[in-house]
């Protein structure tokens, strides 16, 4: 069965510093991988997704993630944090075991705090 | 274009009462998903509709939960009778196709007291 692990439920960085949010997955087949962001009082918004094309995926708001099959990782990075990046971030994998129904399996979420 | 709309945004009910959550997907999206996040846990899949048909309801916790999508448009999720452990945030998402981006609503925060 597929699963997603996000290391660190809370990450704190200073404004302008590198953001690194970690995500590891388990999957028996090449997965589709996603990062979603939830700002306060809003729904989840797709940041980026990996669908077995380029291993380095660029998303919105300057975020990117690299798919590393050997490490079963899909870490999210941003070179320079902005105050507006403070939010909760979710890594997810599509449940291919269901025959690609679009069903997502989520990690526990990581709350990013950006300090001035 | 309107996004996925859920209401109510918040609901506080007593144990044993009934609550109905509603989700209006983006117009034309055949796929509709319900997810739930219990406090401190990950977001978990509840069920998936394709138009009005239940494609997968493997994540429904028990028979106190009933989801419908009459006419393949909006969907409702009824909890009857509600228990304390049903508290959490219920998310709805919709997509054009199963490999298309899923758009999420803002969620309904349910508190059972």
In order along its 113 residues, chain B shows pLDDT tens digits of 679 999 999 999 999 999 999 999 999 999 999 999 998 899 999 999 999 999 999 999 999 999 999 888 999 999 999 999 999 999 999 998 877 789 999 999 999 99
A107–chain B Cβ distance below 8 A for any pair? yes
Coil, helix or strand for A69?
helix
Query: Rounded CA gap, A49 and A36, in Å?
Result: 9
A101: nearest CB among B55, B91, B107: B55
Residue A97 has pLDDT above 60, yes or no: no
3-state secondary structure labels for all residues of chain B: CCCCEEECCEEEECCCCCEEEEEECCCCCCEEEEEEECCCCCEEEEEEEECCEEEECCCCCCCCEEEECHHHCCEEEEECCCCHHHCEEEEEEEECCCCCCCEECCCEEEEEC
A102: nearest CB among B41, B98, B105: B98
Residue numbers of B between 67 and 96 with CB closer than 8 Å to A: 91, 93, 95
């Amino acid at each position: 069965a597929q699963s997603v692990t996000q290391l660190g439920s809370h990450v704190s960085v200073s404004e302008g510093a590198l953001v690194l949010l970690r995500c590891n997955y388990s999957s028996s087949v090449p997965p589709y991988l996603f990062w979603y962001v939830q700002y306060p009082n809003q729904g989840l918004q797709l940041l980026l997704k990996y669908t077995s094309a380029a291993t380095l995926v660029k998303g919105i708001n300057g975020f990117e993630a690299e798919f590393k099959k050997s490490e079963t990782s899909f870490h999210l990075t941003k070179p320079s944090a902005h105050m507006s990046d403070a939010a909760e971030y979710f890594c997810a994998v599509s449940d291919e075991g269901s025959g690609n129904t679009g069903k997502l399996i989520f990690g526990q979420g990581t709350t990013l705090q950006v300090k001035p | 274009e309107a996004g996925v709309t859920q209401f109510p945004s918040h609901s506080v009910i007593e144990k044993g009462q009934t609550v109905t959550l509603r989700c209006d997907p983006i117009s034309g999206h055949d796929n509709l998903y319900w997810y739930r996040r219990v406090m401190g846990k990950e977001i978990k899949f509840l069920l998936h509709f394709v138009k009005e048909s239940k494609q997968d309801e493997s994540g429904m916790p028990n028979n106190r939960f009933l989801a419908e999508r009459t006419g393949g448009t909006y969907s409702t999720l009824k909890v009857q009778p509600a228990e304390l452990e049903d508290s959490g945030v219920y998310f709805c998402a919709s997509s054009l196709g199963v490999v298309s981006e899923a758009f999420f609503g803002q969620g309904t925060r349910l508190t059972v007291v």
